[in-house]
Amino acid sequence: MYLNPCNRFLHISLIEPEPEKETKEAKVLLPDDYVKEVKQRYRTASLLGVGEQCTVFSSSDVGSVLVVVDTTMMESFVDPSGKEQFFILESHILGTYR
Protein backbone atom coordinates (compact mmCIF):
# COMPACT_ATOMS: atom_id res chain seq x y z
CA MET A 1 0.00 0.00 0.00
CA TYR A 2 1.41 3.40 -1.03
CA LEU A 3 0.58 6.58 0.89
CA ASN A 4 0.27 9.46 -1.58
CA PRO A 5 0.61 13.01 -0.17
CA CYS A 6 -2.02 15.57 -1.19
CA ASN A 7 -1.89 19.29 -1.98
CA ARG A 8 1.56 20.77 -1.20
CA PHE A 9 2.60 18.15 1.35
CA LEU A 10 5.77 16.10 1.09
CA HIS A 11 6.02 12.57 2.51
CA ILE A 12 9.40 12.27 4.25
CA SER A 13 11.47 9.75 6.16
CA LEU A 14 13.72 11.16 8.88
CA ILE A 15 17.36 10.08 8.81
CA GLU A 16 18.41 9.06 12.30
CA PRO A 17 21.55 10.78 13.59
CA GLU A 18 24.28 8.82 15.34
CA PRO A 19 23.70 8.91 19.12
CA GLU A 20 26.41 10.77 20.99
CA LYS A 21 27.79 9.34 24.19
CA GLU A 22 28.27 11.91 26.91
CA THR A 23 31.94 12.20 27.83
CA LYS A 24 31.64 14.50 30.84
CA GLU A 25 31.88 12.91 34.24
CA ALA A 26 28.38 12.67 35.67
CA LYS A 27 27.55 13.68 39.23
CA VAL A 28 24.88 10.98 39.26
CA LEU A 29 25.62 7.32 38.64
CA LEU A 30 24.43 6.29 35.19
CA PRO A 31 24.71 3.01 33.29
CA ASP A 32 27.80 2.68 31.07
CA ASP A 33 25.65 2.43 27.95
CA TYR A 34 23.58 5.53 28.79
CA VAL A 35 22.96 7.75 25.77
CA LYS A 36 21.50 11.22 26.28
CA GLU A 37 18.67 11.79 23.84
CA VAL A 38 18.79 15.27 22.37
CA LYS A 39 15.79 16.57 20.45
CA GLN A 40 17.12 18.25 17.32
CA ARG A 41 15.04 21.03 15.81
CA TYR A 42 16.53 20.61 12.33
CA ARG A 43 16.86 17.16 10.77
CA THR A 44 17.77 15.64 7.44
CA ALA A 45 15.10 13.58 5.71
CA SER A 46 14.71 11.67 2.48
CA LEU A 47 11.83 12.44 0.15
CA LEU A 48 9.31 9.60 -0.21
CA GLY A 49 6.43 11.33 -1.97
CA VAL A 50 5.36 14.65 -3.45
CA GLY A 51 1.86 16.18 -3.48
CA GLU A 52 0.35 17.04 -6.86
CA GLN A 53 0.34 20.82 -6.19
CA CYS A 54 4.04 21.08 -5.25
CA THR A 55 5.99 23.57 -7.36
CA VAL A 56 9.56 23.13 -6.07
CA PHE A 57 9.66 19.32 -5.97
CA SER A 58 8.44 16.75 -8.47
CA SER A 59 8.02 12.98 -8.50
CA SER A 60 11.46 12.69 -10.14
CA ASP A 61 12.99 14.04 -6.89
CA VAL A 62 11.65 11.12 -4.83
CA GLY A 63 14.53 9.05 -3.49
CA SER A 64 17.24 11.30 -4.93
CA VAL A 65 16.88 14.47 -2.84
CA LEU A 66 17.67 14.93 0.84
CA VAL A 67 15.88 17.80 2.54
CA VAL A 68 16.51 19.72 5.76
CA VAL A 69 13.31 20.12 7.78
CA ASP A 70 12.19 22.01 10.87
CA THR A 71 10.82 19.22 13.07
CA THR A 72 8.40 21.57 14.82
CA MET A 73 6.52 21.97 11.52
CA MET A 74 6.09 18.25 10.74
CA GLU A 75 2.80 16.39 10.82
CA SER A 76 2.90 12.74 11.83
CA PHE A 77 0.53 9.86 12.39
CA VAL A 78 0.67 6.10 12.84
CA ASP A 79 -0.61 4.16 9.84
CA PRO A 80 -2.65 0.92 10.11
CA SER A 81 0.53 -1.19 10.00
CA GLY A 82 1.89 0.64 13.09
CA LYS A 83 4.58 2.66 11.29
CA GLU A 84 4.90 6.39 11.98
CA GLN A 85 4.53 8.51 8.83
CA PHE A 86 5.88 12.07 8.51
CA PHE A 87 4.64 14.91 6.30
CA ILE A 88 5.71 18.52 5.91
CA LEU A 89 4.49 21.38 3.75
CA GLU A 90 6.73 22.22 0.81
CA SER A 91 7.22 25.80 2.11
CA HIS A 92 8.71 24.50 5.41
CA ILE A 93 11.75 22.91 3.74
CA LEU A 94 14.88 24.83 4.74
CA GLY A 95 17.22 23.44 2.08
CA THR A 96 18.11 20.47 -0.08
CA TYR A 97 21.05 18.20 -0.85
CA ARG A 98 20.87 17.18 -4.51
Half-sphere exposure of 49 (CA within 13 A, CB side): 15
Sheet holding 93-97, edge to edge: 75-78, 84-89, 9-14, 42-50, 66-70, 93-97
Alpha-carbon gap, residue 52 to 45, rounded angstroms = 20
Give me the domains of the chain, ranges plus CATH numbers. 1-15+39-98 (2.30.33.40)
pLDDT of residue 67: 93
pLDDT of residue 26: 56
- Give the global pTM: 0.78
pLDDT digits (tens, 9 = 90+) for 19-41: 666 566 657 887 888 777 777 88
Rg of the chain over Cα atoms, rounded to whole angstroms, equals 17
DSSP character at residue 55? S
